Amino acid sequence: MIWNPRNLKVIGPWHDDGPMLPIEFARQSSGQRVTLVIAAGLPLQRTLWIKSAFNVLLDAANNLKEREGTSDKWIAFWPGNAKGYVGIDDVMSRWCGTHGLDGVVWTALPPKWGNEEGVIPTPEQLVGYLTGLSKEEKERAMEYIVNAPKQIDTPLRREIRARLGWA
């Protein structure tokens, strides 16, 4: 989203002091990409954030839903509908309070490996999957991983760097 905002309507630059959230490259998504998700038990990562051009939380959520090409089911927001791991309400409440924000929206897709939701791949599964892609598919997958914010330094990303050289 940071390097490819498409139709996301925002104001100003991205900030690198977002809330600490449990994030990993743990979802097989469309286009053979492996995307970042928030899920309990994953290593905490400092996220990035940007202000929405919308003043109404539900409008910002709808804009994110359109940008992601997903349904209401996979868009979360605080206050109100903080889907995801236990404790996210408290994290978002404290973080918004320290940044003078009234609310926050985010994509709440779960981990998914193969066709099983909730499954986080092992390093062997992830690297095996990526090496088995066609040249074009591999380029799409690499684009997402390489362009993800550098501060997102997860165990699986380090494994991809070490084994595949994607930096």
* Residue-wise pLDDT tens digits, 80-116: 887 766 688 899 999 999 999 999 999 999 999 998 9
Task: Write down the pLDDT at residue 164.
Answer: 96
Residue 8 lies in a domain: no
**Number of domains present in the structure of the chain:** 1
Residue 69 lies in a domain: yes
Which ranges of 10-165 would DSSP assign to H, the alpha helix? 57-68, 88-99, 123-131, 135-147, 155-164
Handedness of CA 10, 12, 17, 23 (dihedral sign): positive
Residue 55 lies in a domain: yes
Spans in the chain with pLDDT lower than 50:
none
Task: Write down the pLDDT at residue 83.
Answer: 74
Residue 128 lies in a domain: yes
**Which residues span the domain enclosing 41?**
13-164
Structure tokens at 48: 């990035």
Residue 25 lies in a domain: yes
Residue 108 lies in a domain: yes
Residue 27 lies in a domain: yes
Task: Write down the pLDDT at residue 2.
Answer: 86
Residue 2 lies in a domain: no
Q: How many CA atoms lie within 13 A of 22 on its CB side?
A: 13
